[in-house]
Structure 1
Amino acid sequence: MPAISMFYGIIVYLYFKDNKQHKSPHIHVRYQEYEVVVSIPEGDVLEGNIPKSKM
């Protein structure tokens, strides 16, 4: 998995060919057992959830 950033237990992933499920540019973010997909540059949550303090 291509992790592009790691800080405070948060890992940000960017996949090169991940357009089957989400058509807009986005990143995957993991924190402990949580995972969220966030559109870029808007920052809208496309899928999943993560604690508000970590968003």
Structure 2
Amino acid sequence: MPTIAYFLGIAIAMYYRDHNPPHVHVIYQGYEALVVIEDASLLRGKLPPTAMLIVRRWVTLRRAALLANWERARRHEMLERIAGPDDDAD
């Protein structure tokens, strides 16, 4: 499972052969969650409230890049790293 982003102790990963809906895997201090890319909703798992808020904002901000990575994963192509919420280059 490639890690596509890491920020504030939060690891964001994506599987190559994962199920729909398009989502990311979030790992933070022993917590794990799946977050839907389209609406940043919690699909499964749990995160502390502050971490969940940060991830939801990040997913919303980076939706296009995340969906592009999802399509790359479907084609078994290399995934790109995605900037964290503190990177204002976009």
Q: TM-score, normalised by structure 1?
A: 0.87
Between Structure 1 and Structure 2, whose CA radius of gyration is higher?
2
Runs of 4+ off more than 6 Å: none
Which structure is higher in helix share?
Answer: 2
In the alignment, structure 2 segments of 5+ residues that lack a partner are 53-90
Aligned residues: 52
Q: Percent identity?
A: 42
Unaligned runs of 5+ in 1: none
**Structure ranking higher in strand proportion:** 1
Aligned to 2:14: 14
- Over the aligned positions, Cα root-mean-square deviation in angstroms equals 0.8
Q: TM-score under structure 2 normalisation?
A: 0.55
